[in-house]
Structures are given as C-alpha cells and as structure tokens.
Amino acid sequence: MTTPGELVFVAPKAKRPPQHLADLDPAERANLARELNVPAFRIEQIAHHYFERFEIDPDVMTDLPAADRKQWIEAVLPMLLTPVHTITCDNETTAKQLWRLHDGVMVESVVMRYPERATVCISSQAGCGMNCPFCATGQAGLTRNLSTGEIVDQVVAAARLLQEGGVGGSPVRLSNVVFMGMGEPLANYKAVMGALRRLTDKDSHGLGLSRRSITVSTVGLVPRIDQLIEENLPVRLAVSLHAPDDELRDTLVPVNTRWKVSEVLEAADRYSRSTGRRYSIEYALIRDINDQGWRADMFAWFT
Ligand code: SF4
C-alpha cells in the first residue's frame, strides 16, 4: 500500500526466475512437495543439503533414492547463478564474483575474509533505480529486481566457497552478510524480506545466521524503514548518507528530494529505538565535493 506522495519504484517486467527452494517458506515447501508428488521429508532432506551443507550436487546426496535424485534436484534447486568470472585480490582474501542469471542479466557479489569474520556483500537488484551520480551501477539504471532465491543463492555460494577454503586459503564459516552490492534493498522489499527470513531461519528452513550479523544498507526510503520495524527482523541498518545537508544530498543521492536528511535520520533513530540495534552511516568521501571541514562539523552535530 502506498501513501499519498510516496514514490513507487517499479522494476521493469521480466521473465521470472525459476522457482527455487530458497524462495519458499515452510508452508510453501509443503505445497511444492504435493505438486511434485515427492514425500515432504525428501524436500526437507534436500533443504538440509542446501542450507546446512551448501550442497547442490545430486551425486553426493546419497540419502536420496538414486533413481529420483537428479530429477528432484532439477525441480527444487534449479541453477539460478552461473559463474562467469571470479577475481581475487588483497592477498587472496577477497573474491569478487560475477554471475549470469537465467535471463542473461549479470550481478556481482564479493566475499571478504578478515581475521575474525568472513563477510559476503550481495546484490538485491540487477542495476539500480536510485540514480546516484557517483555510482556506476546507478548510471546504468534498474534492469530488474532479484528474486528471493537469487539473493539467497549468492550467500549460499559464498558459504560454499569459504567452506572449501576458496578465500584466504583455509576453510571458514560465513559469518556476515551485507546488502551493499548492486541495488537498493528496500526498493525490492518483498524479495529482500523473504531473503532475510531464509538467511536467519534455523533447522534446515534457512542458513541460521544471526540477525545482528546481517546489515541492510539503504539510501533512506523512509516508509520502508518504518515497515522494516514491523517485520520483527532486527537486522542491522546502514544509511548511505554521503552528505549532511539537503542541498548537496539532493544532487548526490537524488531520492533525497523526496525524503530529506532529517527525515531519514529520524526514521533510522526510530529503527534503532525499536530494535535496540545501533545503525551505521556510510559516507563516501569525494574530493572537493563532500569533504569540507564544515560538512564534517555538521555531520557530527547531527549524530
Ligand atoms: S542506491 Fe547504491 S547502488 Fe543504487 S545508485 Fe545509489 S549508490 Fe548506486
């Protein structure tokens, strides 16, 4: 439901990605079992392989009947992300992965290994409609929203890569997820909420990650921040501010013409009070644009 004056972000229509286990909540998974005429406990076994072992290869799922395995996996875990290219840097502790989706659209995710944690930065949209002039993704515009499955599958792929020792040279568990890749997560609200539930649900219903280890970054879609408060999903919130004054922020983050700096920070304060989570502020320093001392003072005064 929209309120008068609220901007509505409409993604271009595209052929929907294939339905994937990660798109479904437990009730929908039971429906899928009935549709496929597969015993429900078999779907749960597949979910265990996918969410807890990050496994997608039917050949190693030896607890499933050999005659049905391949066909079931094709139906329940269709290939959503095809790897195109991986670049490693920072002494092999960072891996930037480029994926092709079912319709040829490309998205990126980045896996980062630190001494005390392993983080994946994921995309929530292909492109972005927010049009921030300093951002290459924004300049290309929005191609389409990602599905819940396409978002979750980036995380599962990162967890698998880390488990195999593919980043930093030794196996490690994925600990953190940040929605800071391509797209504005709160403009793809429904799919991102589904992804947050799959990432935090436990016992083969999801990856069982801690809510405090997940960060959703937004340019400040105020009604969606308020909606997120109601979800009972107290993940961390990050606000991409980039300027403390409306005059400059109107140009750096064009959605500021709709929700001003003070409104965005008030919404973040409401989120913080309601969830008990401190929020963070992102500020990309751009030489001679937003790096003046008086803006730093203004920023400090706000926070
Ligand atoms: S919201 Fe983020 S991804 Fe979108 S244009 Fe702005 S900086 Fe780029």
Query: What domains lie within the chain, and their CATH numbers?
Result: 21-76 (1.10.150), 82-302 (3.20.20.70)
Per-residue pLDDT of 126-174, as tens digits, reads 999 999 999 989 898 999 999 999 999 999 999 999 999 999 999 999 9
Q: Enumerate the H helices of 125-229 as residue ranges.
A: 136-140, 148-163, 189-200, 222-229
Q: Which of 43, 100, 116, 40 is nearest to 75 (CA)?
A: 43
pLDDT at position 98, please?
98
Q: What is the dihedral of CA 181, 187, 188, 193, to 10 degrees?
A: 90
- How close is the Cα of 132 to the center of ligand 1, in Å? 6
User: Is 0.85 topped by the overall pTM?
Assistant: yes
Please tell me the distance from the alpha carbon of residue 171 to that of residue 176, in angstroms, as a whole number: 15
Question: Which ligand 1 atom lies nearest to the CA of residue 182?
Answer: 3
Which tokens go with 168?
A: 């930093």
Ligand 1 surroundings by CB, under 6 angstroms:
128, 130-132, 135, 137-138, 182-184, 219
Q: How far is the CA of 217 from the centre of ligand 1 (A)?
A: 10
Substitution candidate for ligand 1 out of 122, 123, 125, 130 with most atoms within 8 A of CB: 130
Instruction: Give residue 289 CA to ligand 1 midpoint distance, Å.
Output: 17
Percent of the chain beyond pLDDT 90? 90
Rg over CA atoms, the chain: 20
Q: What is the mean pLDDT of the chain?
A: 94
Q: How far is the CA of 128 from the centre of ligand 1 (A)?
A: 6
Q: How far is CA 269 from the centre of its chain?
A: 22
Please report the pLDDT score of residue 62 as a whole number. 96
Phi–psi pair at 280, nearest 5 degrees: -110, 160
What percent of the residues of the chain are helix, what percent strand, and what percent coil, each to the nearest 5? 40, 15, 45
Pocket test for ligand 1, best of 109, 110, 121, 132 (most atoms within 8 A of CB): 132
CA–centroid distance, residue 188 to ligand 1 (Å): 13
Q: What is the pLDDT of residues 63-73, one digit of tens each?
A: 999 999 999 99
8 Å CB contact between 93 and 87: no
**Which tokens sit at 104?**
């040829």
**Distance between CA atoms of residues 157 and 99, nearest Å:** 11
Q: What is the pLDDT of residues 230-285, one digit of tens each?
A: 998 999 999 999 999 999 999 999 999 999 999 999 999 999 999 999 999 999 99
Q: Is the pLDDT of residue 3 over 50?
A: no
Q: What are phi and psi of 254, to 5 degrees?
A: -55, -25
Q: Where does the pLDDT of residue 5 fall: very low under 50, low under 70, confident under 90, or very high at 90 and above? A: very low
Non-local CB neighbours of 34 within 8 Å, separated by 6+ positions:
none
Q: What distance in angstroms lies between residue 238's CA and the mean position of ligand 1's atoms?
A: 13
| Cα dihedral 60→157→228→248 (10° resolution) | 180
Closest CA to ligand 1's atom 6? 132
What distance in Å separates the CA atoms of residue 107 and residue 82, rounded to the nearest whole number? Answer: 10
Residue 134 CA: nearest ligand 1 atom is 7
Residue with the smallest CA separation from ligand 1 atom 3 is 183
Nearby residues of 278 by Cβ (< 8 Å), 6 or more positions away: 272
Pocket test for ligand 1, best of 108, 131, 137 (most atoms within 8 A of CB): 137
Furthest-apart CA atoms within the chain: distance in Å: 70
100 beta partners = 82, 106
pLDDT at 12: 55
